[in-house]
Structure 1
């Protein structure tokens, strides 16, 4: 018989608490308990990147991360401010960096993590950061353009204060 644990964590800037079975992955907590379905289940083995979220400000594969290991989580739903998209989300839209969109939440979260630590990444740094994020539609050149454009937009925002 599985035991149930009471958990409390911050999800997208808000306190979340609930009961989850021991051993629940962060992906299952987000999708099944917090009803945030933007984070996608892909391979279930951490190989495709579709489930990438920020846990304690680091990009992690939610399908491999135990829910109990995270204190603060940001998902794709937590990036926008009101009606204003996060610069990475806007750049992906502007560059048409997706077709089916299944990989997009994970790609965006991976790019957000990269740009937080490396505001002006080289193409090699972008490729390295997004290595393991699979896009079945093959929009990699557009994804690269989007990440570069997002870095530029974030730099302009920072200069404006």
Structure 2
């Protein structure tokens, strides 16, 4: 099925089967490989993207179902994501790094909706993303640091 996907503000004309998961359209057809395959059953969060600003696991949604919507991946750029990237880097958050693109997208979603998240807000927002290395404490610290960095620029 020929369709257009809007990813990170750019339109991509793609030919995809009607049942192809968005994850594979993003990775294999468009070539944006930052979004990761983790479990394939929408449980781990490695494939997280934002669709019209809503956190979504891209392995569990058909690419054709998001035509006309804005898809935001880890390759995109937003103010919150940039502060999070800096905080992630400063805090040496990743261990193996595999889950981190999904973690960063989930954290972006959180900061897009909550300017000053509490520890409880962070725990709830990040609970759908699994990190096999257990970097949850570093992730939480980095989210708080990103908020501080953002507040420094205001």
Query: TM-score range with shorter-chain normalisation?
Result: over 0.9
Task: Give 1 or 2: higher helix fraction.
Answer: 2
How far off its partner does 1:80 sit? 6.8
Alignment of 1:120-131 (within 5 A): 120-131=116-127
Number of equivalenced pairs: 151
Q: Write the distance in 2 (CA, Å) between the matches of 1:26 and 1:154.
A: 31
Alignment of 1:13-92 (within 5 A): 13-70=9-66, 71-79=69-77, 86-92=82-88
Q: CA RMSD in A?
A: 1.5
How far off its partner does 1:89 sit? 1.1
Pick from 100, 107, 110: which aligns with 1:111?
107
Q: Write the distance in 2 (CA, Å) between the matches of 1:155 and 1:9.
A: 34
1:33-87 deviation digits (Å, cap 9, x = unpaired):
0011100000001111100011111110000122122221111111279xxx711
Structure 1 unaligned regions, length at least 5 = none
Stretches of 4+ moved more than 4 A in 1?
A: none
Q: TM-score, normalised by structure 1?
A: 0.89
- Tell me if the contact between 2:45 and 2:129 (Cα under 8 Å) persists in the aligned partners: yes
